[in-house]
Structure 1
């Protein structure tokens, strides 16, 4: 697939267009209500018009997953489950070209990033296939007349409410460990970018790798379909990636039913650049924040804190890096694609304009730096003279915008870095290993990256402090968040623990 029309025809060929609202039991279920346009953000052209799952279709999706849990998947041996997940990884790789084209057009991301996302999706299933039979409990020494041990058990149906910026890899990041733990999954993808989730579900069902309805899909908006999924009594655990207000609403709904949540929310990640740092590496990291998903990434480092003695040089290098970035439709594989939608582009533009109004200066890019006749494009933009009290420094832009803040000593840098309601990730650039370790311990973030940003892969636990969320994704740690711990305490007869026979 190389054109928007070809993508639309491909989706139609799978019977996934025209009011498609859910995928359950190997069938496409349609709704009769309003449709939701899914557009190509590079042109604004509508790809398909999906439906919206109401309470009846959500019920079918959740109950389908619940039945699959009670069936062969819930009773399958862990090793067999792992072999099935490895075959899912193979399925993703076999269809990588098609899925990458689809993801690039649906999200607007450059084709090379979409290809990387598909490979990452396969790696999630490959990784969790390898640990499916290693989610161990432990034996706990207590009294000599007791045996105490723990086991990890699945929740049942886990709801995954996924975001629009990396829909396939975000789905696989949560679904793979959920399935490895023995759960089944119902997915509510973003209505903005639902296509790769739908196609993956269709491919998975046709492959026969997993029992039917181990993964079901319900489409629609958050306040309607999302709320119905989260509040369904058969959902035993919830995973959500998105904004703090939506995460708060989901946590409130979950609290009413006393079910657990994994919440990966916003970020305003700082990176401290010390005086002895490799400035070129740090400048590339500053520019990279604008590249990944056009800055629409929660973990992007969007506050570069630079020592005063290197501030001007850093700004010069970072402005050059950002000025050399190319912008265009995702399938042409530029450095940056478009933003997700027209309203989101307007929000990013207004935040940059407000920052200038508060005293920041544009050192590269800016809202009017591009001449794109169609699509939702924003130039990679570097703001200097930013103070941490400014709106741009305290709020997530979710666009290709980098802010540079000056500091004079390390204590000031740490105070600025931690002066945020977020705590998802942070970075440090220094050639002094002692300083790197010390700063890693002082930064209030769930992940700290040293001398490279971004870093990490599917094996590195990821999640936030403070308002950036609850729980951890990725790595073996995720298995602990998609399973529940049971403690078993056995009273041993006296003749047994004294070593006598009956």
Structure 2
């Protein structure tokens, strides 16, 4: 369920942030611990450039420790084979604890990623609690099946946890993506290794302590901060990891497919890149509402959203009017201090990502017309801020219109007719989401069916709900997060056939 509570107003979020305690150790087998070799890395606040702490940098040796603990806990059965009502109570308790710690978690998320505190406090943290509660409530309601095969036999289909699950999550929605992966995997009875992105480990590490407090047994939930090649790769290659759920770039997703082939052919579920289309038809109706949605679709969370609608297709008959409204809507996203409720957009997650986005912007200046933005701002803060950027008269084959930028950069492309825009929207290696704006129901259904993507929002943008599946096709990945369908990734189906004597001996 989409959770949008009223913003929580602190007298000063910055004062509250100074009082937050930061956990920097890994969490393995029920306890916080340093990395095996004592290695650490600097966790940076991207809004200021300041070091928040030195976080344990896990390696293959730590992965081995965590996998051994996870396998032991799984085989012991205290979680994997317990009454599902036990798991239900623990996961609902964890959801309650997330809500009790919501301010601390929101501050950690904002300090770690540069995202706005109002989004962390009202969307990300409450939404993460909702995910654990949803799957907790569902885990004792998954029913096995008896198949009618005649009087001489009994056939049963049972659902069993796959075993040890690696959850590798990105830096744009750290706690929420951890919840999307870990909640259904835990609810199904698996043991989990969570590997947060090195740019954003803090909420995952805090979550580990809450999970233990909620009653999740030692070894069942482990958190391994560190760099991809050092910790993520060993998870993908480990022969005793049965499944990996990954959200991140398409490039790294392909690495995990290779890791599976090189090791034990573990299943790999991928939610990867996107280049989603936002299509404004000539009968869209309220163009102002559509323009505001288009701005939100690319500038929310600094454009660091896999399903961001970074390609805006506008019918040529309304392009001039719509572009003017879009420019007005973009003014609401002026970057500022993420801890200030008045800021319109936060900081980019890192200097590396800032440089990557600015490089794409320079490419765009040679490919199209710059309508607004196009530069770094607030450099005096020491932070990584980029102005909301819009390019017009973009060739649909241009670099900025085809490659995932993962920043606040929008490409505006004109189209002439429905067949034209469907073809342009589908001409992408990605297939995560799309948005259609029209008042014609026939057109909405017709285009939704023709678009080769995982989710379509009509007269809305990038709508996500706990009760509906989320995921992509093509190089956006496979499998689905959210909804009861998420269980399918973390459960095996077993058929048991029992022959029965038709008469008593």
What TM-score, normalized by structure 1, do the two folds share?
Answer: 0.93
After superposition, give the CA deviation of every residue in 1:112-141 in whole Å (9 maximum; x if it has no partner): 111110001100011111210122333334
Report the counterpart of residue 5 of structure 2 in structure 1.
none
Mapped to 1, the partners of 2:223 and 2:14 lie a distance apart of: 24
After superposition, give the CA deviation of every residue in 1:73-131 in whole Å (9 maximum; x if it has no partner): 11211122112111111010010011101111111100111111000110001111121
Report the counterpart of residue 162 of structure 2 in structure 1.
155
Cα 1:371–1:7 change in 2 (3 A) is closer
1:7 deviation in Å? 5.1
Matched, 1:242 2:248: yes
**1:323–1:364 Cα contact (<8 Å) kept:** no
Report the counterpart of residue 487 of structure 2 in structure 1.
479
Matched, 1:273 2:273: no
- Per mean C-alpha deviation after superposition, the further-off stretch among 413-422 and 125-134 is 125-134
Matched, 1:37 2:42: yes
| Aligned partner (choices 383, 386, 403) of residue 378 of structure 1 | 386
Report the counterpart of residue 342 of structure 1 in structure 2.
351
Equivalent residue of 2:386, what SS? coil
Matched, 1:326 2:331: no
Mapped to 2, the partners of 1:209 and 1:36 lie a distance apart of: 30
Matched, 1:260 2:267: yes
Report the counterpart of residue 351 of structure 1 in structure 2.
360
Report the counterpart of residue 51 of structure 2 in structure 1.
46
Cα 1:129–1:470 change in 2 (3 A) is same
**1:135–1:479 Cα contact (<8 Å) kept:** no
Mapped to 2, the partners of 1:332 and 1:300 lie a distance apart of: 24
**2:79–2:189 Cα contact (<8 Å) kept:** yes
| Aligned partner (choices 173, 185, 189) of residue 166 of structure 1 | 173
| Aligned partner (choices 217, 223, 228) of residue 211 of structure 1 | 217
Which runs of 5 or more residues in structure 2 are unaligned?
A: 1-9
- Per mean C-alpha deviation after superposition, the further-off stretch among 328-337 and 108-117 is 328-337
Cα 1:311–1:247 change in 2 (3 A) is same
Equivalent residue of 2:129, what SS? helix
What TM-score, normalized by structure 2, do the two folds share?
Answer: 0.93
What RMSD over aligned residues (CA atoms) do the two structures have, in Å? 1.9
Matched, 1:251 2:260: no
**1:23–1:29 Cα contact (<8 Å) kept:** no
1:368 deviation in Å? 5.0
| Aligned partner (choices 218, 222, 232) of residue 226 of structure 1 | 232
Cα 1:332–1:5 change in 2 (3 A) is closer
Count of residues paired in the alignment: 490
Mapped to 2, the partners of 1:39 and 1:31 lie a distance apart of: 23
Report the counterpart of residue 498 of structure 1 in structure 2.
none
1:441 deviation in Å? 0.6
Mapped to 2, the partners of 1:276 and 1:429 lie a distance apart of: 8
Equivalent residue of 2:183, what SS? helix
After superposition, give the CA deviation of every residue in 1:186-221 in whole Å (9 maximum; x if it has no partner): 11111111011111112322x152112221111211
Equivalent residue of 1:324, what SS? helix
Mapped to 2, the partners of 1:208 and 1:129 lie a distance apart of: 12
Mapped to 1, the partners of 2:321 and 2:245 lie a distance apart of: 43
| Aligned partner (choices 425, 438, 443) of residue 435 of structure 1 | 443
After superposition, give the CA deviation of every residue in 1:141-187 in whole Å (9 maximum; x if it has no partner): 44553332311110111100111111111101111100110111111
**1:150–1:488 Cα contact (<8 Å) kept:** yes
Matched, 1:60 2:65: yes
Cα 1:338–1:64 change in 2 (3 A) is same
**1:268–1:394 Cα contact (<8 Å) kept:** yes
Mapped to 1, the partners of 2:446 and 2:464 lie a distance apart of: 20
1:421 deviation in Å? 0.3
Mapped to 2, the partners of 1:349 and 1:456 lie a distance apart of: 29
Cα 1:301–1:238 change in 2 (3 A) is same
Matched, 1:190 2:191: no
Mapped to 2, the partners of 1:238 and 1:199 lie a distance apart of: 22
Matched, 1:406 2:411: no
**2:394–2:401 Cα contact (<8 Å) kept:** yes
Matched, 1:122 2:129: yes
Report the counterpart of residue 28 of structure 1 in structure 2.
33
Report the counterpart of residue 101 of structure 1 in structure 2.
107
**1:8–1:48 Cα contact (<8 Å) kept:** no
Report the counterpart of residue 74 of structure 1 in structure 2.
80
After superposition, give the CA deviation of every residue in 1:48-97 in whole Å (9 maximum; x if it has no partner): 11232122221111211222222311121112211211111101001001
| Aligned partner (choices 180, 186, 197) of residue 179 of structure 1 | 186
1:451 deviation in Å? 0.5
Mapped to 2, the partners of 1:429 and 1:465 lie a distance apart of: 22
